[in-house]
Amino acid sequence: MRVLAVALAVAGLAGQAPVAHADGARDRQWYLDRMDVDKIWKKTTGGGIKIAVINSGVNPSTPA
């Protein structure tokens, strides 16, 4: 029974996610504050914005 308990404990530890090492990365990205990214992010949902893709077709004489 003890072997089963140890095996279950080891299996539980093996399934845990690794510790995140980028926790402080946002603090070092000073330029995001200068750009006022939080304000920009609120307007980047794309709602009400139309996008056009202009395509002139294929030019078969373009070298590969």
- SS3 letters across 1-64: CHHHHHHHHHHHHHCCCCCCCCCCCHHHCHHHHHCCHHHHHCCCCCCCCCCCCCCCCCCCCCCC
pLDDT band at 7 (very low <50, low <70, confident <90, very high): low
Give pLDDT tens digits for 16-57: 666 666 667 767 788 888 888 888 877 776 677 788 888 878
pTM score of the predicted model: 0.28
Give pLDDT tens digits for 37-47: 888 877 776 67
